[in-house]
Chain A
Amino acid sequence: MLEQLSDIRERAMAALAGVDSLAALDAWRTEYLGKKSFVTTALKGIGQLPPEDRPVVGKAAHELRLVLEAALEEARQRVLALEQERAARAERVDVTLPGRPATIGRLHPITQILYEIYSIFAEMGFQVYDAPEVETDELNFQLLNLPPDHPARDMWSTFYTTRDGILLRTHTSPGQIRAMRQFCPEPIRVILPGRVYRYEAVTARSESMFHQVEGLAVGPRITMADLKGVLTDFARRLYGEHRQVRFRCSYFPFTEPSMEVDVSCALCDGAGCRVCKHTGWVEIAGAGMVHPQVLRNGGYDPEQFTGFAFGMGPDRIAMLRYGIDDIRYFYSDDLRFLAQF
């Protein structure tokens, strides 16, 4: 009997080692610990044994049962882990398959540049001021020192409308007069963004519609040195901390003195390349001190107030930043273009 028990023990343990599923484990339990199993039967049949054998066999059978139960529990943990692993393995995927397409939209690159410009100037206290795109000749030109037939009008090829004295603004500058007339006699710090229009054939380099951001500061103590400071800070934030900024004398009828602002070419670091037309410099803005007559036209006394103004082109900024060589991309709204930004 004792030998049989020991045999059973060996067989059961060997069988258990081979068990690798919960079903097999269940079958094993029935076989070795079930109602009809040898151990159960042996324990039940103890009464039939000679009394002297009973304690020994009883103890051995009981021990065996405890051992098998403990082994079962241990095996159950092992098999459970195995089963989980098997199940997980069945769900394995090819991680190199493409993902489920998620669609995220994007803002137009010009909008992104505009928002960047707004935030840089907002920190310097310049707020956005909106002005009309369909404008009067008076605001677009005359009040900016460009009377009819002024030769400098050639600098802005103009779309006129069929309405007398009404045109599409050629620049955001008429907004200067509107802002001054609204805020006078307060000091002013505004930027005027928006669409502008030029009577120009559409080519890779010129568009009949594009964007501008005008800036205007008017106050009792504003100097050309301040203008240089504002534009230098702006240029370094937009184009990079290490860019050089250069101010060149230029001409706009509504500023005096006037200047063009260049930033050292980021592409060649000033050595000269195609983008900067081999000059090492890229033009980024026109600017100047507001002409005394323009201040007067806006309601400010040029003896009490000075001001500066500047204008820049977000389209051009975007072209430089992203290496876009054809301005026509911006308003064709080709998704293959828009999806890149």
Chain B
Amino acid sequence: MRVPLSWLKEYVDITLPVEELAERLTLAGLEVAAIERIGAEWDRDKIFVGEILEVKPHPNADRLVLAVVNYGRGAPMTVVTGAPNIRVGEKGHKVAFATVGARLIDGYSEEKRYMTLKPSKIRGVPSEGMVCSEKELGISDDHEGIILLEDDAPVGVPLADYLGDVVLDIDLTPNLARCLSIIGVAREVAALTGQRARVPDPVALAEGAPIDGQIEILIEDPDLCNRYSALLVRDVKIGPSPKWMQRRLTLAGMRPINNIVDVTNYVMLEWGQPLHAFDYDLLRPRRAGGPPAIIVRTAKPGERMTTLDGVDRDLTSEMLLITDGGGPVAIAGVMGGLESEVTEQTRNVLIESANFHAINNRRTSQALKLVSEASIRFSRGIPASRTVPAATRAAELMRTLAGGVVAQGVADNYPVPQVQRTVRLRPNQVGRVLGIDMTADQVKATLERLEFECAPAPDGLDVKVPLHRLDVEIEADLLEEIARMVGYDRIPTTRLRDELPPQRNNPPLELARRVRSALAGCGLYEAITYSFVGAEDQDRLLPPASRGDVSVRAVEPGPHLRDMLPCILAADACIRLANPMTPERTTMRTTLLASLLAVTAANLRFTERVNLFEVARVYLPVDDKGLPNEVTHLGIVMTGPRTERSWLTPEPEHQDFFDLKGVVEALMAALGIGDWRVEAAAHPTFHPGRCANLIVGDKRVGIFGELNPAVRVAWELPEQRVCLLEMDLDAVLGHVSAAVKFQPVSRYPAVVQDMAIVVDENIPAAEVERVIRETGGRLLRNVVLFDVYQGPSIPAGKRSLAYSLTYQSDEKTLTDAEAAKVHNKIVQRLTAVLGAQLRGPSGR
């Protein structure tokens, strides 16, 4: 809401400097987003109200004229102007006159550029000043003609005093609908500054024939229209509205049209009550011979009408219409119809001032995508009590400004009268909720500033809510009003003294924190990607040939999705947005991998190395209609050189499966998960020979490996290995040990012995290590696989594995012989169980 201060002052005295006023309003919830000062830049001793004494032709130019201007200081001056709105022979125009030295805006410049007015000669004639356009004064972008002021503008007065104004641009939250009006804002200003608002009870001089019998008003649906009031003004002369009204409308952000339309807009801005002016003579009766009729009803199936903006609109049966005997003439509270519009020819005007149901109005305006100043107000609610005062005010303005004759009386159909609410307020609630002590008298005085009337009641006050306060319904609403009036800044600032609620651990939060910290420690950056993906994105994780396989691409919602890792679900089974913003974000993801590949691709455009992880939810639908299961997953992507390229490592090797495996090992260690293992896996997203399942306890909780080269091509990734992991973090919650179990450190020296064995290449290394550890028992403290070898010296189909084994006792210094005993036992068992052959203590 844009509020010109000059207009506001008609209804309340402004006792504070404008900045302070803005601050008070802002703190009270009327956020002043900007203070615009009209005329603040106009030199008071160089720009004046002037009067054109004479307009003479320019001797050397047809398009220019010479204007002789009296500006009340010394002799009149002659200026050259090309303004099309003054013509040779005219005189008496009041203008904005700038003398030499005045700072103005260049009227011919595209951007706002200041210039200082210098004496000049135009086509041979000296020009001693300037008659200004709105643009030159910074009022608007209009540079078509010069400003013509009202005839009674006082010559010689600094223009800043006559035309200067301040506009408060106030952002209003939906509850402040009452302040979508100058009077509403005036009431707030009055309450906040200890003044009284001067809210008049409008009267119109009605000299016309009584309205009775001249209009028939029927309301078919009183739930949607609880009041329809109309006044009739005859014999108006359509023309421009006076300059002061045009100026105020412009400052408030509306465009002047003609005196009748301008009056309806002006009163709407002033009172907050939207009005509509019908051409009375175009309204048709219900039956021949009857008076013109207004019938308020919902639209019939298939009904259409053309609105003021020239658009032909389909109407639905929910939409409330204003119709006459012939058909629709307006969409109630949204926009008028073209047919009954006020035109140059209009002589008699019917002023509509009605009250429409807020929610119905909002639905209609949303369905038609038609938001008007009227619908903004109706959809937030207007008191029904306001129709007649606003219409009366408009009628009087039409009488004085358009020469109309007002019919006596009001045609008022008011089936559901507004009820004045009374709310019980218990003063002790002020302390209980706001934390301030106030007596009943103080509460009463505070509320009375806002025109609430308080009467004693058994346990407090009965507070009568003024009719214009539709937002106050319960005690809490009154408490807010009290807090607002006292000032939030004067409410004390205290620390919670309530008992602390039970404090609980949050294992998922703690797990996520440990995962993040472990992975950052491994050199990975944390990403946060969008929760939604494009409909095709998840499918692109699969080579086309695999997309028909429901074991890797599910097509149905259900609990089975939880066991799919990665969970690739057909987009139409995912949670989908009904109103996506862009095609790239339509589907709630069921796997993190698509998002991670997308950011990897983006990063690989400028770097070779991308190591990222994300901890985020996936949204697994469990059925066709309910909320999805939101499961927290971990996703990792690692690709590119193992280290940054440098003079020390000019050609670093690229990361592969085992870099990711190392991160997995570090992560499991950091989380204190002991019972985990991996097994070879096959999934079409991943490289056929470099993919593993991560198993914790006996449950598969993750999958990792290198990306299938075919999928890499589909994501337009460069030709380099891309390692990926996805893991269900919620699934490992039960396995994370919060507390580390301490192992005493032996004080005795350790014996380290190496062994190299040859085994069948299909025997997993994990199996060999398991046999070694099982056999080694308590004395075997550490097993390090330090060489894996296949080559000429090893039979085909076999490989050599070399281990460094550490033996140590907690009780004594172990002798070589004692260590060798265990060592030999391990060798024997490897031979017996796995068919291993000892190659020697170590090496190739």
Docked-complex contact B501 and A125, CB < 8 angstroms = yes
Docked-complex contact B29 and A251, CB < 8 angstroms = yes
- Closest B residue to A233 using CB positions: B495
Q: Mark A170-207, 1 if CB is under 8 A from B, else 0.
A: 00000000000001001111000001010111100000
Q: Complex Cα distance A145/B177, Å?
A: 17
Majority secondary structure of chain A interface residues (helix, strand, loop or mixed): mixed
Verify if B603 is at the interface (C-beta below 8 Å from A). Answer: yes
- Closest A residue to B528 using CB positions: A108
Verify if B394 is at the interface (C-beta below 8 Å from A). Answer: no
Docked-complex contact A187 and B501, CB < 8 angstroms = yes
Among A259-293, those with CB < 8 Å from B are: 259, 289, 291-292
**Chain B residues whose C-beta falls within 8 Å of the C-beta of A3 in the assembled complex:** none
A134-B627, A256-B476 known; A188 vs B494 contact (CB < 8 Å) = no
Docked-complex contact A103 and B519, CB < 8 angstroms = no
Docked-complex contact A249 and B483, CB < 8 angstroms = yes
Q: Mark B430-465, 1 if CB is under 8 A from A, else 0.
A: 011111100000000000000000000000000000
Among A324-341, those with CB < 8 Å from B are: 330-336, 338-339
Verify if B27 is at the interface (C-beta below 8 Å from A). Answer: yes
Verify if A212 is at the interface (C-beta below 8 Å from B). Answer: no
Docked-complex contact B173 and A333, CB < 8 angstroms = no
Tell me the smallest distance from the CB of B384 to a CB of chain A, in Å.
18
A103-B611, A108-B528 known; A97 vs B619 contact (CB < 8 Å) = no
**Chain A residues whose C-beta falls within 8 Å of the C-beta of B503 in the assembled complex:** 125, 127
Docked-complex contact A105 and B627, CB < 8 angstroms = no
Docked-complex contact B493 and A228, CB < 8 angstroms = yes
- The one of A111, A168, A183, A221 in contact with B526, judged by C-beta atoms closer than 8 angstroms, is A111
A159-B577, A159-B579, A160-B579 known; A229 vs B493 contact (CB < 8 Å) = yes
A101-B646, A103-B643, A257-B483 known; A333 vs B528 contact (CB < 8 Å) = yes
Q: Complex Cα distance A106/B525, Å?
A: 5
- The one of B525, B582, B624 in contact with A339, judged by C-beta atoms closer than 8 angstroms, is B525
Docked-complex contact B585 and A208, CB < 8 angstroms = yes
Docked-complex contact A115 and B522, CB < 8 angstroms = no
Q: Complex Cα distance A143/B689, Å?
A: 53
Docked-complex contact A334 and B602, CB < 8 angstroms = yes
Q: Mark A78-111, 1 if CB is under 8 A from B, else 0.
A: 0000000000000000000110110111111011
Tell me the smallest distance from the CB of B593 to a CB of chain A, in Å.
14
Docked-complex contact B525 and A338, CB < 8 angstroms = yes
Docked-complex contact A257 and B602, CB < 8 angstroms = no
Verify if B484 is at the interface (C-beta below 8 Å from A). Answer: yes
**Chain B residues whose C-beta falls within 8 Å of the C-beta of A202 in the assembled complex:** 581-582
A107-B520, A202-B581, A332-B602 known; A251 vs B434 contact (CB < 8 Å) = no
Among A131-167, those with CB < 8 Å from B are: 132-136, 149-152, 154-155, 159-164, 166
Docked-complex contact A331 and B617, CB < 8 angstroms = no
- The one of A103, A104, A124, A289 in contact with B496, judged by C-beta atoms closer than 8 angstroms, is A124
Q: Complex Cα distance A152/B531, Å?
A: 26
Docked-complex contact A189 and B501, CB < 8 angstroms = yes
Docked-complex contact A250 and B494, CB < 8 angstroms = no
Docked-complex contact A105 and B521, CB < 8 angstroms = yes
**Chain A residues whose C-beta falls within 8 Å of the C-beta of B525 in the assembled complex:** 105-106, 108, 335, 338-339
**Chain A residues whose C-beta falls within 8 Å of the C-beta of B433 in the assembled complex:** 223-224, 289, 306
Count of residues in A whose CB is under 8 Å from the partner chain: 88
Residue among A161, A187, A189, A334 having the largest count of chain B Cβ atoms under 10 Å: A161
Docked-complex contact A132 and B627, CB < 8 angstroms = yes
Tell me the smallest distance from the CB of A148 to a CB of chain B, in Å.
8
Docked-complex contact A223 and B494, CB < 8 angstroms = yes
Among A217-257, those with CB < 8 Å from B are: 217, 219-226, 228-230, 232-233, 246-251, 256-257
A168-B577, A229-B495, A230-B496 known; A103 vs B501 contact (CB < 8 Å) = no
- Closest B residue to A245 using CB positions: B493
Q: Complex Cα distance A219/B500, Å?
A: 9
Tell me the smallest distance from the CB of B754 to a CB of chain A, in Å.
29
Verify if B835 is at the interface (C-beta below 8 Å from A). Answer: no
Docked-complex contact B362 and A151, CB < 8 angstroms = yes
**Chain A residues whose C-beta falls within 8 Å of the C-beta of B432 in the assembled complex:** 223, 306
Tell me the smallest distance from the CB of B794 to a CB of chain A, in Å.
35
- Closest B residue to A139 using CB positions: B627
User: What are 6 residue pairs bridging A and B, where the CB atoms are less than 8 Å apart in the complex?
Assistant: A98-B647, A100-B646, A105-B526, A219-B496, A251-B176, A256-B476
B residues with CB within 8 A of A: 26-29, 31, 173-177, 358-359, 362-363, 379-380, 431-436, 474-477, 479-480, 483-484, 488-489, 491-504, 506, 508-509, 513, 516-517, 519-532, 575-582, 585, 588, 599, 602-603, 606-607, 610-613, 617, 619, 624-628, 630, 643-644, 646-649
Q: 19 other contacts beyond A108-B526, A224-B483, with CB at 8 A cut-off?
A: A105-B523, A110-B528, A118-B509, A125-B501, A152-B173, A166-B625, A189-B500, A208-B581, A217-B498, A223-B434, A225-B492, A225-B494, A226-B496, A226-B497, A230-B496, A246-B489, A250-B173, A257-B476, A292-B475
